[in-house]
Amino acid sequence: MIQLLKFLRPYTNTVVAVLALLFFQSLGELYLPTLMADIVDKGIVNGDTRYIISIGGLMLLVAALGTSCSIGAAFLSSKTATAFSRDLRGKVFSRVESYSLHEFDKIGTASLITRTTNDINQVQQVMIMGLRMMVSAPMMCIGGIIMAVSKDAKLSLIFVVVIPVLAVLIFSVARKGLPLFKVMQGKLDKLNLVLRENLIGIRVVRAFNRIDHEKKRFNDANRDLTDNAIRVNKIMAAIMPMMMLVMNFTTIAIIWFGSIRIDNGNMQVGDMMAFIQYAMQIMFSLIMVSMMFVMIPRASASAIRINEVLDMVPEIEDADEIKEGNDKKGYVAFEHVTFYYPGAEQPALQDITFQAGPGEVTAIIGGTGSGKSTLINLITRFYDVNDGSIRVDDVDVREISQESLRAKIGLIPQKAVLFTGTIAENIRYGKENASDEEIRHAAETAQAMDFIATMKDGFESVLAQGGKNVSGGQKQRLAIARALIRKPEIYIFDDSFSALDFKTDAKLRAALKRETKDATVLIVAQRVSTVMDADRIIVLDEGEIVGMGKHRELLNTCKVYREIVTSQLSEEEIA
């Protein structure tokens, strides 16, 4: 919580203004009962109407000033707190953008969303409360006690009894309620997780008739959260009536003992009335403080979760000393690379060594789960190797900045991801300042023109969220166009042709060959026809290279490759 306060620093001036306004408001409130006592004891008792009117006018004035201070403070504190949470959200977002895939795996997407929204809201609410109470509560409490004692010291002994009672009550309630608040954020994460999975997987849920099952799963998470919230609120709801009870008994006690003292001539009626009001102010301030004590732990549970996001150091960071690039272009070399996914016992890749250079096509083939995508993710440094090294343009990828490394690479991921926006915008994602001509050319090479031309608005057609309104193969071709437009040194196709029909696949590869003749091309594929004429075919099996060479050589030397080939091609095609 304290850590987060640094985000208030830009608003120091406003905070000071809020505190000052509240200071004056509290002063006014402390002054009013004394004025009232004067009216009763000096004005009414003596029947002095002019005195009553003038003091009454003063009271009105003080009350009006106090109210405007209070309004000003409320306005400014809300403004500060919302600005605070805006800054914090921005900070969390940009932090998350710098994460490597490890950190995403650790916290989880659903939790990241809750932390950026709900958790920050919790902190914001406490911030508003805290700003308003930080000055008023202690002032009203201490000021109230001073004023009460000055009215009648003996009667003030009542507080010696009441305040400890109040403290014990608040403490016992808070002890029961606080642990539940912490549990609540976790349950909210769970609810978000279920909801997110369902929204993303809605087609699967429907196709497998799992709607009832999912409804139940959601209801369970929902009920769990609700039960917890109700429990917490029940406990917290007990505070208010208990406080009221204590306050009313206090009033009775004051009137009881006060009237005895008035009877004996030790106290005046107006002073007793003022005394009651001071007692109320003291106790209300204690209640406010206790509410704060309830809210702070809840918000600090949230603050801890936010800080976790802010403090998590991305495992993959640029080296302190970044090596400048050289004039080599398009060289990729793996040297005895071994890689484990975090927590995995078996390496996903083991002792991988190969080189690829400009003008060459390197194909990677292997069964599902053999580590093809993993290998590619290492080149773009989404993960760091455990052993060995990967060199791009003869520099270790850990020594180049991530930005310049990725600028060299045009990646077409296995699962094409598009963003909400027009087709042109999506292709331009690869190169910000691309001209219309470049966009058209990239789309032509990627064989995307035929379907873009049939769309009503052509390049200006709007894609729905995640590209839902185009087919898998069309998405794939747009993703290819997005990579082509960068004209990178290294093209990486991760199984990008699998969603295409054979005819488009062949046309696309012919067009790509012209486009990428000077670049380094890495193609991951399932189909033998896609990889057959590559300069180098790497056969992966369970994370290891079991064969490397041209199609002809591998047919004779590599058993795994032969198996893949015979399962896909007929005898004549092989010969």
Question: What is the pattern of x (binds Mg ion, CB under 5 A) and - over residues 362-381?
Answer: -----------x--------
Task: Please name the helix (run of DSSP H) or strand (run of DSSP E) that holds residue 349, with its range, or none.
Answer: strand 349-356
Q: How far is the CB of 543 from ligand ADP (least distance, A)?
A: 7
Q: Tell me phi and psi for residue 431, to 5 degrees.
A: -155, 110
Closer residue to ligand ADP (CB): 348 or 490: 348
Distance CA 377, CA 494 (A): 10
Q: Which stretch binds ligand ADP (CB under 6 A): 20-28, 276-284, 341-349, 508-516?
A: 341-349
Closest C-alpha to 560, from 573, 574, 544, 575: 544
DSSP 416-478: ----SEEHHHHHHTT-TT--HHHHHHHHHHTT-HHHHHHSTTGGGPEE-GGGTTS-HHHHHHH
User: How many amino acids of this chain bind Mg ion (CB under 5 A)?
Assistant: 2
Query: Would you say 33 or 347 has its CB closer to ligand ADP?
Result: 347
* 3-state secondary structure at position 265: coil
Task: Please give the structure tokens belonging to residue 246.
Answer: 């204590």
How far apart CA 297 and CA 176 sit, in angstroms, is 12
From the list 564, 118, 111, 533, the residue with the least C-alpha distance to 360 is 533
Q: Nearer to Mg ion by C-beta: 285 or 373?
A: 373
Kindly state the smallest distance separating residue 375's Cβ from ligand ADP, in Å. 7
| Residues 390-419 within binding reach of Mg ion (CB under 5 A) | 414
Q: Restricting to residues 414-443, which ones interact with Mg ion according to CB under 5 A?
A: 414
CA 33/CA 561 separation, integer angstroms: 94
Site for Mg ion in 207-266 (CB under 5 A): none
Q: Which of 130, 143, 177, 371 binds ligand ADP (CB under 6 A)?
A: 371
Q: Which is nearer to ligand ADP, 4 or 348 (CB)?
A: 348
What backbone phi and psi angles, to 5 degrees, belong to 338?
A: -125, 135
Helices (H) and strands (E) in the chain, counts: 22, 12
Query: Which residues partner with 421 through β-bridges?
Result: 463
Neighbour tally for 542: CB within 10 Å:
16
| Interface residue with ligand ADP, options 94, 209, 368, 454 (CB under 6 A) | 368
| Partner from Mg ion, ligand ADP, none binding residue 136, C-beta < 5-8 Å depending on class | none
What is the smallest separation between the CB atom of 189 and ligand ADP, expressed in angstroms? 20
Chain positions 152 to 211 lying near Mg ion, rule: CB under 5 A, are none
Given 23, 31, 249, 341, the residue binding ligand ADP (CB under 6 A): 341
CA 407, 411, 415, 421 dihedral sign is positive
Q: Quick one: 297 or 366, whose CB is closer to ligand ADP?
A: 366
Beta strand pairing status for 421-422 and 462-463? antiparallel
Stretch that binds ligand ADP, among 84-92, 371-379, 395-403, 548-556 (CB under 6 A): 371-379
Q: Is residue 370 close enough to count as binding ligand ADP by CB under 6 A?
A: yes
Residue 268, helix vs strand vs coil = coil
Largest CA distance in the chain: 124
The minimum distance between CB 438 and ligand ADP, in angstroms, equals 31
Q: Find which of Mg ion, ligand ADP, none residue 344 binds, CB within 5 to 8 Å per kind.
A: ligand ADP
How buried is 478 (Cβ within 10 angstroms: 0-12 exposed, 13-18 middle, 19+ buried)? Answer: buried
- Mask 250-289, x = binds ligand ADP (CB under 6 A)? ----------------------------------------
Alpha helix stretches (DSSP H) within 98-156: 101-107, 109-114, 120-151
Choose which of 274, 301, 303, 348 interacts with ligand ADP (CB under 6 A): 348
The secondary structure element, H or E, covering residue 388 is strand 387-392
> From the list 373, 445, 516, 520, which residue makes contact with ligand ADP (rule: CB under 6 A)?
373
Question: Which one of ligand ADP, Mg ion, none interacts with residue 222, CB within 5 to 8 A by kind?
Answer: none
**Neighbouring C-alpha atoms within 13 Å toward the C-beta of 403:** 4
Stretch that binds ligand ADP, among 68-76, 240-248, 361-369, 394-402 (CB under 6 A): 361-369
Each residue 374-413 as x (binds ligand ADP by CB under 6 A) or -, in order, gives: x---------------------------------------
Q: Residue 374 touches which of ligand ADP, Mg ion, none (CB < 5 to 8 A by kind)?
A: ligand ADP
Gap between the Cα atoms of 122 and 298, Å rounded: 8
Residue 422 to residue 461: CA distance in whole angstroms: 5
Is position 347 an interface residue for ligand ADP (rule: CB under 6 A)?
no
User: 130, 292 in Cβ contact below 8 A?
Assistant: yes
Q: CB of residue 370 vs ligand ADP: minimum separation in angstroms?
A: 4
Least Å from the CB of residue 406 to Mg ion: 19
Q: Which stretch binds ligand ADP (CB under 6 A): 194-202, 302-310, 364-372, 403-411?
A: 364-372
Interface with ligand ADP (CB under 6 A), residue from 57, 90, 164, 369: 369
In angstroms, what is the minimal distance from the CB of 1 to ligand ADP?
34
Please tell me whether residue 90 binds ligand ADP under the rule CB under 6 A: no
d(CA 3, CA 311): 11
CA 94 centroid distance within chain? 10
Q: Which of 153, 160, 313, 344 binds ligand ADP (CB under 6 A)?
A: 344
Could you tell which of Mg ion, ligand ADP, none binds residue 368, using a CB distance below 5 to 8 A set by kind? ligand ADP
Instruction: Give the list of residues 6+ apart from residue 226 with CB closer than 8 angstroms, or none.
Output: none
Residue 190 or 475 having the CB closest to Mg ion: 475
Smallest distance, Mg ion to C-beta of residue 524, A: 7
**Which string of DSSP letters, residue by residue, matches 198-212?**
HHHTHHHHHHTT-HH
Which C-beta is closer to Mg ion: that of 401 or that of 414?
Answer: 414
Residues near Mg ion, by CB under 5 A: 373, 414
Residues near ligand ADP, by CB under 6 A: 341, 344, 348, 366, 368-374
